[in-house]
Structure 1
């Protein structure tokens, strides 16, 4: 068999480092998503992702050990790790899994904001409070993470100076969430 292709500069300095780079993007992205799955309590997906994460990592690190004298592989490994973090976070952001607690603090009267949130189908809990300098209204709502942008738009258009914070929540017992338009209905049988 002809070994000239395998021994070529292209394979040594481009192909192998490129494969290491792509492998690291994949395994670090899987790792990022796996951590999110663990934190959200997804007991099935976390170990499945962990399996592929480690399998891909083993392949990448074996190529590093096969090419210890090739400094380009080291850079590909490090760049793949950095890019994998970015890609993993982007994927996780697009998945928008879970639910969050939204706390809105307004300095002006909050009835219009409350009405707009209710009209959009969001459940709220509201109370008046005393801030450091003035009376404030505090609104709490539990929403799906995928709904954050919609709720932010309601807040920004109704009360642009409102202060709000968002926290991850692992579990809720019950809640009021907007109805899904055209839900898929599952039937037994066909």
Structure 2
């Protein structure tokens, strides 16, 4: 084991690879943790931070022990850059949190509302004037993982609808669908009626 660690292959290839991998993991965790902190998810943020700093310490220890090898610096910097990208990619995949969609439509508001209500989404409708035209503004709170489903409904009924999306830190349970939106529900979005209406 000592012979492997002291070998040229270890110092030129394996050690930089390990530093790169450790940095990718710890920066990915740091990126994810930062996003979770902004969203107010405390316990998971703290847990990720604990393991993040352990991995970072192992990487920086190897750098400090091998200051004369520029390959390690390149591996450290490369791992940092890659870790940022992967951290954001992971966060987008797990899609934690809530978002508010503001959709502005001129003609198809009733169709959009009917379809969203059939899928049990909650929304608020208001009237406004844009460039001399009367429009409807729909406020639709959703879980982030359901965002694409709602946007698809809006685009299908009004391709010219204007919408903005805003992250929200907290949301009352009354603002969300009373039953979870599943893939099965999505494929049968128009086949069931909203209960209690």
The residue aligned with 2:158 is 159
The residue aligned with 1:36 is 35
The residue aligned with 1:98 is 97
Matches within 5 A, 1:131-150: 131-150=130-149
1:41: how far off? 1.7
Which structure 1 residue ranges, 4+ long, deviate > 4 Å from structure 2? none
TM superposition score normalised by structure 1: 0.89
1:134: how far off? 1.9
Which deviates more from structure 2 when the two are superposed, residues 89-98 or residues 5-14? 5-14
Q: 1: CA distance between counterparts of 2:52 and 2:164?
A: 33
Matches within 5 A, 1:39-188: 39-173=38-172, 174-177=174-177, 179-180=179-180
**Residues 102 and 138 in structure 2, CA contact (< 8 A), matched pair in contact too:** yes
Higher fraction of helix: 2
1:8: how far off? 2.8
Where 1:138 maps in the other structure, the secondary structure is strand
TM superposition score normalised by structure 2: 0.86
User: In structure 2, do the counterparts of structure 1 residues 181 and 172 end up closer, same or farther at CA, with 3 Å as the change threshold?
Assistant: closer
Where 2:139 maps in the other structure, the secondary structure is strand
Where 1:152 maps in the other structure, the secondary structure is helix
Aligned pair count reads: 181
Deviations 1:127-149 (A, max 9, x none): 11001242211000111111001
Which deviates more from structure 2 when the two are superposed, residues 69-78 or residues 33-42? 33-42
| RMSD of equivalent CA atoms | 1.7
Where 1:72 maps in the other structure, the secondary structure is helix
